[in-house]
Structure 1
Amino acid sequence: MPHRTLNVPEHGMIDAYHAELAARGYEADPAQEAAVKRLQQLYSELLGYKVARQSMLRKLFNKPVEPTSVYFWGGVGRGKSFLMDCFFDAMPYQRKRRVHFHAFMHEVQNDLKTLNHLPDPLQTVARRISEQVRLLCFDEFHVSDIADAMILGRLLTALFERGVIFVMTSNYPPDGLYPNGLQRINFLPTIDMLKERFSVIEVDYGTDYRLRTLEQLEIYLVPDDETAAARMNEDFFKISGFEGEPGQIEVLGRQLTARRIAPGVIWFDFAALCGGPRSQNDYLELAREHHTVLISGVPVMSAAMSNEARRFTWLTDALYDHGVNLTMPAAPPPADPY
């Protein structure tokens, strides 16, 4: 049934969720039920809010009540990004954006540097964002950088004041954000604000969607045997049309060694890509610059390789978000590192 005023489905989030489940051959996960219901509620609230804001009577007499933003969290692979994508695609807003949180903060920090001649550049950044976006969806919300931690509270407050509504996914509850961070005591008001202004929903203990995401990513597996290197050489040439050369690329000011480089295609050893200190922004930048990534030497990751496993998770998230193809040896899939 369509919404009584807007020509859109009344139960758009739930409809989109079940349609996407059917398209992927999934079954509804009971662990996601509360999140699905809350996102449907937000969908309805946003539609009602849109109608109320367009009503001349409401404009004359009172301001409509703003919808409550949503923050849902849970372990890796619980389908949080899947749920947010269903909601985002269903929501009939033009001024909406879905973005990886670290990519968003990278943009904000760059804008602040550009505007540092102004008395309060953060307010200018918030105004510009709010002029473009009414609904802002953050995937993988997490704070690990002190520069982000010190401005996040003011930024979110400034966006709230300008009517921006949020949907956020995170692996952590609000109280678990910025753990052991420098000057964390100054970040605690931001945590309190998140708990006060968001509906906080836990999504956990259901189907592991991380492996399903890896299945959906365009992954081309080659046998993990003595011929793997030769096969990947062949694949590299077929994909790129070039033999490629070993070399280094610069990613956010740091050098990264590659086995082969060609326009739009790059081949790494796992150790070079995930074995050392890398950030999510590194992988996002890599995904933006290439349409295909090849990785050799991918191990079966044990608990002792939790750092490598976390970086591999960041990498596959970035590749998936940007539609990048991935070729790697067909070793057993990495276990959930968390």
Structure 2
Amino acid sequence: MTAAAAQKTKRQVPRLTDRSPTITGAEIVAELVPPPQFEHASFESYRPDLAYPSQMGAVEKLQAFAGAGQGQRTGGFFSRSRKVKAELPGIYLDGGFGVGKTHLLAALWHSSPGPKYFGTFIEYTALVGALGYQETITQLRSAKLICIDEFELDDPGDTMVMTRLLGELVKTGTRVAATSNTPPNSLGEGRFAAQDFLREIRAMSDNFETLRIDGLDYRRRKAEGHAVAVEPETLDHMVTALAQRGSQVTRDDFGALMTHLATVHPSKYVKVINGVSVIALSNVFLLTDQTDALRLVAFIDRVYDAEIPIIASGRPLSEVFDTEMLAGGYRKKYLRSLSRIVALTTGELPPHAE
């Protein structure tokens, strides 16, 4: 390929920064299902680490919770086949990164009767923003089960909205299951004046039985623990090769992407990456603004759900959050994101990207 042809190919590669999608409340509701990698998640396909008995224990508890929701006996490889009754309307999976909480949450969703919804915390708050509080209640009131992944309360407004939303739904018979890296009575610690909202936080946590799941991050069990950065010239060659073979690759300057994400609500990030098979980022640098960092966390969550590999030049993506952030109130959120970044970022040409 001539230099001119390579430059032409580079110009033709689409950019995420050119995408400014819209999303409606109905579209958000329609998307409240497990992400693609958990489309077939089941209790049987979960692979517990036998060195951590709490993982097997969580499977049994969740099967009992699913069985209680159906009012029938539970079955399956892990179950004890007995009739159970849930004492609380909610169950809360607390644990570190990569211990399979989302897999188990999706398995619960698949094994439970509908109507049912599965979404991240940010998707539910976005739904309230799109529809309004009362219409959201109307949309979700008939649900037998609501699954909330990555439950984190980052500001007082979200605290009050979500606790009251769940409280109203639970009163009408909806059962709730949630995952997070923070126990429900600790949500908000270090991020805002949690004592001012202690009543709301306690009211929410009183609805949940907490299950602690211990273990190692499966994404790092066979990984070096850091993302790979490639040279700028290598990035150029990889993007060109992907484009030539018809892959849906995008290429963006990291700084430009961060600026663009500030103009797009996080609920729309899923549409920003829709149809993309590989994301290429150039000139990655250290983030020092926490607002930008949290936007990146939300973006990486959606990229991870969509299983889109990332190739990047500049600073390794696993070193993008500064030390002050990693020691602050959002520490667990950043560490979860780093775990996902390590899993996504590759220094090799993705073999099956289309």
Q: TM-score, normalised by structure 1?
A: 0.63
**Structure possessing the higher relative contact order (Cα contacts under 8 Å, 6 or more residues apart):** 2
- Cα offset for 1:210? 3.7
Matches within 5 A, 1:102-181: 102-112=122-132, 122-131=133-142, 133-181=143-191
Match of residue 81, structure 1, among 96, 99, 102: 102
CA RMSD of aligned residues (A): 4.4
Contact 2:146 2:175 in 1 (8 A): yes
TM-aligned CA deviation for residue 67 of structure 1: 5.8
Q: Which residue identity is paired with 1:328?
A: T
Structure 2: distance between partners of 1:101 and 1:294: 28
What is the deviation of 1:16?
A: 3.6
Q: What SS does the corresponding residue of 1:99 show, helix, strand or coil?
A: strand
Q: Percent identity?
A: 22
Tell me the residue number matched to 2:91: 70
Which of residues 65, 72, 77 is equivalent to 1:42?
Answer: 65
Q: Larger deviation: 177-186 or 275-284?
A: 275-284
Question: Aligned pairs, how many?
Answer: 273
Could you state the TM-score of these two structures normalised by the residue count of structure 2?
0.61
Contact 2:219 2:339 in 1 (8 A): no
Residue aligning to 2:316: 298
Structure 1 unaligned regions, length at least 5? 1-14, 51-63, 113-121, 216-220, 256-260, 321-325, 331-338
Cα distance change, pair 232–198 in 1 and its aligned pair in 2 (3 A): same
Gap change, CA 1:43 and 1:273, over 3 Å in 2: farther
Aligned to 1:314: 337
Question: Could you tell me how far 1:110 is from its partner in structure 2?
Answer: 2.5
After superposing on structure 2, the runs of 4+ consecutive aligned residues of structure 1 that deviate more than 6 Å are: 212-215, 242-245, 285-290
1:214 Cα deviation from its structure 2 partner: 8.5
Displacement of 1:285 after TM fit?
Answer: 6.3
In structure 2, which of residues 37, 53, 60 is the aligned counterpart of residue 30 of structure 1?
A: 53
State the AA in 2 paired with 1:17. Answer: F
What is residue 209 of structure 1 aligned with on the other side?
Answer: 218
- Structure 1 contact 270–298 (Cα < 8 Å) conserved: no
Contact 1:97 1:136 in 2 (8 A): yes
Task: Flag structure 2 segments of 5+ consecutive residues without an equivalent.
Answer: 1-40, 74-84, 266-272, 349-354
- CA distance in 1: counterparts of 2:114 and 2:194, whole angstroms: 37
Greater strand percent: which structure?
Answer: 1
Distance in 1 separating the partners of 2:274 and 2:137? 39
C-alpha displacement at 1:96, in angstroms? 1.4
Alignment of 1:257-268 (within 5 A): 264=276, 266-268=279-281
In structure 2, what is the Cα distance between the partners aligned to 1:299 and 1:99? 26
8 Å contact 1:69–1:167 — kept in the other structure?
A: yes
Shift of 1:155: 1.1
Q: Equivalents in 2 of 1:48, 1:197: separation in Å? A: 19
**Residue 142 of structure 1 aligns to a residue in which SS?**
coil
Secondary structure at the counterpart of residue 157 of structure 1: helix
Which residue matches 2:269?
none
